[in-house]
Amino acid sequence: MWIWQHNNWPNFIYNSAAIMPRLESCIQTVSPLKQFSELLSLEQRLDWEASILLDEILASAKIGYQRL
């Protein structure tokens, strides 16, 4: 099920105590990437971000069965 297919989309009710451990885990996973990005020049960072965005676009197109 996609998030927009949820019966109560977009008005969600959630238990913050239940999601905090996962959110903290995500933050710990992303933190080294943030630190790495701070070592890059602006040009390198923009190239890296463009590469990530392209990867996301291509992955999303595969989900939607689109050919780019």
- 61's tokens: 């197109």
Q: State the residue range of the domain holding 59.
A: 41-68
CB-based contacts of 4, cutoff 8 Å, min separation 6: 10
In a domain, 15, yes or no: no
Q: What is the pTM of this model?
A: 0.53
pLDDT per position as a tens digit, 8-59: 888 888 889 999 999 999 999 999 988 998 999 999 999 999 999 999 999 9
In a domain, 64, yes or no: yes
In a domain, 29, yes or no: no
In a domain, 61, yes or no: yes
Identity of the amino acid at 2: W
In a domain, 47, yes or no: yes
The tally of domains found in the chain comes to: 1
In a domain, 51, yes or no: yes
Confidence of residue 66 (pLDDT cuts 50, 70, 90): low
End-to-end, the C-alpha distance of the chain in Å comes to: 24
- For residues 7 and 13, what is the distance between their CA atoms, to the nearest angstrom? 12
In a domain, 67, yes or no: yes
